[in-house]
Amino acid sequence: MRRLLSWIWPLLPLLCGFYIPVFIAVLDDVALGSIEVAFSSVVTSIPVIISTVILAISAAFLATLIGAVDALLISGVRGVTSGRLRFLWVPLLILTFTTPPAAVASAIQSTFGSSFLVAGVRDEFGALILLSLRWAPVALAILLGLSLTIPREQEWALRLLPPVKALKVRWQLQRNWRRACMLLLFLLMLPAAEIPSYAGIETISRRVMARLTVGDGLSGWILSAGLAGIVGPLLAWLMPGNQWWGRGLKTLSPAGLPTWKFASGWWILRVVPAISLILILIYTAWPRASEVELAKSEFLSALWDGIIEIQRALLVSVLSVLCCWRLAVAKRKWALWAWCLPTFLPASLLGLSLASTWGVHAPVFLDRIPWLLSLAHIVQLGALSALAGILAVSMIPEEEANAARFVKPEIACWRIFLPRSLPVLIPASIMGAILILGEVESTLLLAPPGHPSPALE
């Protein structure tokens, strides 16, 4: 019984938060809808699908390129990111990812005008730039992991080469990682709806939400099934192979890294968007003299609400990460695939499914508790949690994994593997909490009345 419970509990949040409500909602819409009308509606959505794919590919390519150059200079050149200024430089690099897109878009529009984000070729330039700058820090984090897999002897040999030649070799070593990173970012951007909506771009996610809310739910589910058919095989290709343990992830000090005169120019260029964002936010949020007291009270109220919401976000993120980490320890690849899939589907699909199934039949006293919102956020963090679980397992030496076979599986899991995995699981939980605080779609659909939300405020 204990073994059965340990096998089931990592899947319970996923089943209750995604697959069961989605299955029930699909059955209801199939019973009420018309297949012919739904397919004709899907055919009219083909141009939207093509434009969404083109936007996602372009943004993924640009974000991967920016992140690849960042990772190349951080791992191969000694500069501001390896000295004392890294405590200032690194927050500036990740600011475009940690700031909620709603705050970025509203600040830009209020400063430069509502038409600023829709300027450019086919009105997609603004969405392309915002998506690329938002996800470039994620590409940086993924590609920076390459430096942890390079053998120590090869790393020291690279540090003895001339700077330009060493950077060329590192760029060649990045090739397979860049391909996988671009594919992952493409999957993450494909269901993106929030940022393109600020630029006036209709995407698959917006079309799915429109169909599910105007009474044409069956066509929305067919569009979602098509999106899942694209994402599913690509996601399966990204899953790890037979080697899970002991990949030898090691960190080296920046001692011995060469300097390159052009690196500082790149870093200055990279922090321009973050500094511009800070200045725009200050310009738009700075109150007039007559509004100072009101601004202070609103700030203190929002700060208190944010502190309360951070606790829930951390709890939700930790639960999601632990579930996927437990599956990674057990090497249950297809269960991790099932956890990842909801992340790459429209958030509105998940929110509407939960609201129309569990939300309708739940007791009234639960209406003021954000349990549906928490369940949705647990599921939406599936890809991040699965990636953290796989990376955490990869950091465990193979010798320790083999030695742990001589003790009970649960003891090995929680007393041996968990302490070794904390250097990965803790940052992943913090990153998940940051993403939850900036999430808008599920919050709008599932948050109880009066629930504090930093992204909406």
Using one digit for the tens of pLDDT, what is the confidence trace for 366-386? 888 889 999 999 999 998 899
Instruction: Name the nearest CA neighbour of 387 among 346, 339, 454, 430.
Output: 339
| Contact in structure between 425 and 321 (CB atoms under 8 Å) | yes
Domain co-membership, 337 together with 253: no
Instruction: Mark which of 270, 286, 302 sits at the end of a domain.
Output: 286
Task: Specify if 56 maps to a domain.
Answer: yes
Most confident stretch, 297-301, 342-346, 390-394: 342-346
Q: Is a pLDDT exceeding 80 seen at residue 257? A: no
pLDDT at 378 (0 to 100): 94
Task: Give the DSSP H/E element, type plus range, for residue 7.
Answer: helix 2-8
| Cα–Cα distance list, 314 to 103, 141, 391, 422, 427 (Å) | 21, 21, 20, 15, 11
Domain co-membership, 274 together with 390: no
Q: Where are the alpha helices (DSSP H) in 118-241?
A: 125-144, 146-149, 152-159, 163-173, 175-189, 194-198, 204-213, 217-238
pLDDT tier for residue 302 given thresholds of 50, 70 and 90 = low
Domain co-membership, 180 together with 329: no
Average pLDDT, the chain: 78
Q: In which domain, by residue range, is 193 found? A: 45-286
Domain co-membership, 209 together with 83: yes
Domain co-membership, 154 together with 238: yes
Total Cβ atoms within 10 A of residue 397: 14
Instruction: Take residue 342 and report the two structure tokens written for it.
Output: 């909801």
Domain co-membership, 340 together with 454: yes
Task: Specify if 40 maps to a domain.
Answer: no
Q: Is a pLDDT exceeding 60 seen at residue 124? A: yes
CATH number of 316's domain: 1.10.3720.10
Mean pLDDT of the 403-423 span: 81
Most confident stretch, 219-233, 246-260, 277-291: 219-233
Mean pLDDT of the 20-26 span: 90
The larger pLDDT score, comparing residue 331 to residue 255, is at 331
Mean pLDDT of the 448-452 span: 79
pLDDT at 345 (0 to 100): 86
CA distance 304 to 422: 29
Mean pLDDT of the 264-286 span: 74
pLDDT at 148 (0 to 100): 65
pLDDT tier for residue 121 given thresholds of 50, 70 and 90 = very low
3-state class (DSSP) for residue 449: coil
Task: Specify if 39 maps to a domain.
Answer: no
Q: Is a pLDDT exceeding 50 seen at residue 245? A: no
Domain co-membership, 166 together with 215: yes
The larger pLDDT score, comparing residue 90 to residue 408, is at 408
Mean pLDDT of the 216-232 span: 81
Domain co-membership, 22 together with 61: no
pLDDT at 392 (0 to 100): 84
Mean pLDDT of the 124-148 span: 80
Task: Specify if 38 maps to a domain.
Answer: no
Task: Specify if 3 maps to a domain.
Answer: no
Task: Name residue 329's amino acid.
Answer: V
Q: Where are the alpha helices (DSSP H) in 330-415?
A: 333-340, 347-356, 358-361, 371-380, 382-394, 398-403, 409-411
Q: Is a pLDDT exceeding 90 seen at residue 130? A: no
Domain co-membership, 322 together with 189: no
pLDDT tier for residue 320 given thresholds of 50, 70 and 90 = very high
Measured at the CA of 322, the angle between CA 318 and CA 327, to 5 degrees, comes to 155
Domain co-membership, 265 together with 358: no
3-state class (DSSP) for residue 393: helix
| Contact in structure between 386 and 339 (CB atoms under 8 Å) | yes
Domain co-membership, 336 together with 263: no
Specify the DSSP class assigned to residue 455. Answer: T
Task: Specify if 356 maps to a domain.
Answer: yes
Using one digit for the tens of pLDDT, what is the confidence trace for 323-346? 999 998 888 888 999 999 998 888
CA distance 385 to 106: 30
Mean pLDDT of the 397-417 span: 78
What is the total count of domains within the chain? 2
Domain co-membership, 321 together with 436: yes
pLDDT at 268 (0 to 100): 79
Task: Give the DSSP H/E element, type plus range, for residue 305.
Answer: helix 292-329
The larger pLDDT score, comparing residue 25 to residue 159, is at 25
3-state class (DSSP) for residue 318: helix
Task: Specify if 4 maps to a domain.
Answer: no
Instruction: Mark which of 257, 286, 315 sits at the end of a domain.
Output: 286
> For the ranges 51-55, 98-102, 300-304, 372-376, which has the lowest average pLDDT?
300-304
Using one digit for the tens of pLDDT, what is the confidence trace for 61-85? 999 999 998 888 887 777 655 556 5
Instruction: Mark which of 237, 266, 286 sits at the end of a domain.
Output: 286
